Structure 1
Amino acid sequence: MPGSTVEKRDYYEVLGVARDADAQVIKSAYRKLAHQYHPDKNHGAKDAEDKFKEASEAYAVLSDPEKRAKYDRFGHQNGGGFEDFGFAGGASINDIFGDIFGEMFGGGARRGRARTRGSDLRYHHELSFEEAAFGATARITIPRSKLCETCRGSGAKPGTGPRTCPTCHGQGEIRLTQGFFSIARTCHHCGGSGQVVVDKCPTCAGQGSTRDRATFEVKIPPGVDTGTAVKIEGGGEAPPVPNGSPGDLYVVIQVRDHPIFSREGTEVLCEMPISFAQAALGGQIDVPTLDGPDTLKIPSGTQTGKVFRMKARGIPSLGGGGRGDQHVRVVVETPTHLTKEQKELLERFAALSGEETHPRARSFWEKVGDLLREKTKA
């Protein structure tokens, strides 16, 4: 109908957020909508493109404190839209929303160039309990890529060199106009480097790198545990471009179980069997530690399950700061395969034993008696 106008939707309604939403909520809402309706994911879908533009327009205003305040006060004035808030048509989406699309689509105009760093590598290395506690030096050999010695990483045959990419003309990116926006995408022909290799190196077939095996001596610090990663800078894959830098190597530690010890952080735990006589009479017992055998004093009348602490006999703190303790849980062993004489002695001991000898048993039966009396009264 002549003279009719299409009423613009409220920006908060477009993004689906409350009017008092903070910047992070607004950003998250826009990222979700932009990812859903982005033209690259909805080729030729006019409705999706319109919704993408609408969401982008709303975010451009509400993400700017000054423009948001102006919008909250005046709303859509005189046909409003971007132009009322200082956005003329043809603006680059990378300039307006660089932080959003840098995260979502791997860059844009400012990050469209090919990566210049090699990939990181991960290597799992197993250590004994003692090596993890006190540190060790490990010698490892891993397969990885290295810069081709023939072409020095260029990928081109000696005597030749890479040429300017005919698709992006050396820019490393292609700009596509999507209605209101100009969107930058990494060039598919050169991968963002801006150059292509025509005469390929015979050694690396134009890849710029070859496979190799590298050996490293890795110093494992004291106090590591399963999952600790030791970083070796430059130990990863070769860079994809001659002037790039290699990735890093992460040596991830796996600690073998110990037949005697276990650990909780820097604390070492172990169980120590003691005889009935040692528990009853007390004395000194030999206890294994990470530093070798040591003596532990057991008081008379020690009960099974009692835990004793040996200070500074645990795991050194990673990065320094002292050592943890060792906790020894004693377990009283019941004698088996008794001789006739041993049985007679125990029977005599049992006959001589009274309540004073077994205070815990006396307390237990006192509690049983109290329960029976309460049940009788009821």
Structure 2
Amino acid sequence: MRADWAQKDFYAVLGVAKDATNDQIKKAYRKLARENHPDSNPGDTAKHDRFKAVAEAYDVVGDPDKRAKYDELRRLHASGGFPGGFGGGGFGGRPGAGGQTFDLDDLLRQGGGAGGAGGIGDMFGDLFGGGFGRGRARPRATKGPDVETTATIGFTDALDGVTISLRLTADAPCGTCDGSGGKPGTKPHVCPECDGAGTIVNGVGGAFSMSQTCPSCGGRQLVYDEACPTCHGSGRAASSRTIQARIPAGVKDGQRIRLRGKGGSGEHGGPAGDLFVTVKVSPHRLFGRKDDHLTLDVPVGFDELALGAEIRIPTLGGSPVTLKIPAGTPNGRTFRVRGKGAERADGTRGDLLATVEVQVPAVLNAEVRAALEALRSAQAGASTPLRANLFETAG
């Protein structure tokens, strides 16, 4: 059915020279598509056919890879480079050199010959999306679907990195039909709607057309007499598996990690999709996190801030350190302990940020109460009342 492509001059259809640039081809296509689009010419069958021809031509010569293969096919056709005088009358079932008759579709299906070890069909089999020649339709490799999941890990595991097991359920090629969509034992045929291309070209309005996956074969290029009873012709089925995933050190709560090739299985030899893991980090009893730094709230007494003190505080996974608090330290001040935070990608570590918070006892014994009342009496005679600035009139 596609043998006639070798005789079609797509450059002439678009009205451009064979050496036209991609921009020139695109410009010509847009002009012709706009002039002949069915939306602009209701009921004009001739222009509808013209629009289809223009779209077909642009689908080939508008794509650099397809254009190169098309040019080579035309060169062989013109030079008689096919057996039986392809370029001189031995085409499409007509007599060639020596009175032999050749059919191009049969020639494209056969192995060997002018196309080399794989046949001419292998040379040009993917010119139009893998559908060149009825007998050489080959399903194109398709990347598997990406998979999303969520994993919860501990606070220290997030800092140090951890390998976890994930149970995944995703679409995969159907085990009954191996992804073909056909009932085992039934005979496949080239899809009649897309002629084995796997895609069809549709006008979308204005001066543009677009390719879309063929709705009849789902892009697999082949259809079967009977659909697979398991997947009902889709070629896909749910599959569960367990994988080991490495969560890197320093991952943050809510961070999304991409694991290449760990997603759903591909079709027809295509690569697997990717796995995206959203990490949830469980909170720690004492420590928090701010970027690459750890945070710690340290309870202290009023006397320790007023008079100064040396106190011991914990570090995560290490020995305690001594924190020196100067006399007169305000409540809520944050001290920095360098190198005791989270590990960075370069191997260095962030800091521990320790914030002092005064703790007021809920119950006072007699001795402490007497001391605090003496402090209150002593402060009552201060030259500047503690809250004097709250009543100053704004200037």
Aligned pair partner of 1:46 in 37, 40, 46: 40
| 8 Å Cα contact 1:93-1:181 kept in structure 2 | no
TM-score normalised to structure 1 length: 0.61
Q: 1:47 to 1:332 in 2, by over 3 A?
A: farther
Aligned pair partner of 2:276 in 250, 253, 269: 250
Structure 2 Cα separation of the partners of residues 309 and 144 of structure 1: 47
1:255-283 Cα deviation digits (max 9, x unpaired): 23334333221122222110123223333
1:309 maps to which residue?
Answer: 336
1:141 maps to which residue?
Answer: 167
| 8 Å Cα contact 2:141-2:268 kept in structure 1 | no
Structure 2 Cα separation of the partners of residues 181 and 232 of structure 1: 37
Structure 1 Cα separation of the partners of residues 206 and 148 of structure 2: 44
| 8 Å Cα contact 1:209-1:238 kept in structure 2 | no
2:350 maps to which residue?
Answer: 324
Structure 2 Cα separation of the partners of residues 185 and 343 of structure 1: 83
Structure 2 Cα separation of the partners of residues 242 and 157 of structure 1: 17
| 8 Å Cα contact 1:313-1:326 kept in structure 2 | yes
Mapping of residues 153-232 of structure 1, within 5 Å: 153-175=179-201, 184-232=211-259
| 8 Å Cα contact 1:114-1:191 kept in structure 2 | no
Q: 1:342 to 1:198 in 2, by over 3 A?
A: same
1:295-351 Cα deviation digits (max 9, x unpaired): 32222332211110011111212x334111111111122344222222222333444
Q: 1:339 aligned to 2:333?
A: no
| 8 Å Cα contact 1:154-1:162 kept in structure 2 | no
Amino acid at match of 2:54: G
1:116-137 Cα deviation digits (max 9, x unpaired): 1111010011122222122222
Q: 1:173 to 1:344 in 2, by over 3 A?
A: closer
Amino acid at match of 1:90: V
Amino acid at match of 2:219: G
Q: 1:365 to 1:142 in 2, by over 3 A?
A: closer
1:132 maps to which residue?
Answer: 158
TM-score normalised to structure 2 length: 0.59
Aligned pair partner of 2:287 in 261, 268, 271: 261
2:102 maps to which residue?
Answer: none
- The gaps in structure 1 that reach 5 residues or longer are 1-29, 54-88, 100-108
Structure 2 Cα separation of the partners of residues 276 and 226 of structure 1: 35
Give percent identity, aligned residues only.
33
Amino acid at match of 2:200: I
Does the residue aligned with 2:54 lie in a helix, a strand or coil?
A: coil
Structure 2 Cα separation of the partners of residues 290 and 125 of structure 1: 23
Does the residue aligned with 2:151 lie in a helix, a strand or coil?
A: strand
Structure 2 Cα separation of the partners of residues 141 and 166 of structure 1: 40
Count of residues in correspondence between the two structures: 283
1:76 maps to which residue?
Answer: none
Structure 2 Cα separation of the partners of residues 249 and 329 of structure 1: 39
- The gaps in structure 2 that reach 5 residues or longer are 1-26, 48-52, 65-127, 132-138
Structure 2 Cα separation of the partners of residues 255 and 145 of structure 1: 28
